[in-house]
Amino acid sequence: MTPAQITRERIEALWPTSVTTYLRSRGWQRAGTVDDRATVWARGDAEVLVPQRRELRDFGLRMAEVLSTLEAVEQRSRLEILEAVTSAGADVVRLRLIGPELNEGRLGLARAGQVLDRTRELLTAAACSVVAPRALHGAKRPGAATDWIEQLQLAAPEAGSFVLKVVSDVPPALEPQGSLLLDDEPFGRRTAAVLMRAVTEARSAAELEAAVAHGVSANLCESLAAIVDAAHAQTLDLGVQWAAHRFAPPGVPERVQIGADVVGVLREAGRLLRARAPLEEFELEGWVVTLSRPGESPVSGGTAVVAGLVDGYVRKVRVDLVQDDYTRAGEAHLAGRRVRFLGTLVKEGRGYHLRDPHGFEVDVADDPAGA
* pLDDT for 105: 78
Q: Which domains occur in the chain, in start order?
A: 3-86 (3.30.160.90), 90-172+180-276 (no CATH), 280-370 (2.40.50)
Handedness of CA 198, 201, 207, 208 (dihedral sign): positive
Of 7-16, 47-56, 170-179, 261-270, which gets the smallest average pLDDT?
Answer: 170-179
* pLDDT for 371: 42
Handedness of CA 219, 112, 150, 171 (dihedral sign): positive
Mean of the pLDDT values across residues 297-313?
Answer: 86
86 band by pLDDT with thresholds 50, 70 and 90: confident
Could you tell me how far CA 222 lies from the centroid of its own chain?
A: 12
For 263-282, write each residue's pLDDT tens digit.
999 999 999 898 888 888 89
178 band by pLDDT with thresholds 50, 70 and 90: very low
Mean of the pLDDT values across residues 21-35?
Answer: 88
Could you tell me how far CA 368 lies from the centroid of its own chain?
A: 46
* pLDDT for 296: 61
Q: Is residue 301's pLDDT more than 50?
A: yes
* pLDDT for 298: 62
pTM summary value: 0.70
